[in-house]
Amino acid sequence: MPSPYDSDPRLGELVVSQHELDVRVAELGRQITLDYAEHPPLLVGVLKGAFMFMSDLSRAIDLPVEFDFMAVASYGSTTRTSGVVRIVKDLELDLTGRHVLLVEDIIDSGLTLSYLRRTLLARDPASLAVCSLLVRDHYEVEDLDLAYVGFRIPSDFVVGYGLDVGERYRNLPFVCHLIAEPEVRR
| Three-state SS letters, 100-160 | EEEEEEEECCCHHHHHHHHHHHCCCCCEEEEEEEEEECCCCHHHHCCCEEEEEECCCCEEE
CB atoms within 10 A of CB 3: 10
Annotated catalytic, 108? yes
Catalytic residue among 108, 124, 137, 156: 108
Distances (CA, A) of 120 to 77, 81, 93: 26, 21, 12
Yes or no: say if 103 and 120 are a contact pair by the CB < 8 Å rule.
no
Strand 148-153 and strand 42-47: the pairing is unpaired
Q: How far apart are CA 176 and CA 52, in angstroms?
A: 15
The closest alpha carbon to 133, from 56, 34, 39, belongs to 56
CB atoms within 10 A of CB 90: 11
Catalytic positions are 108
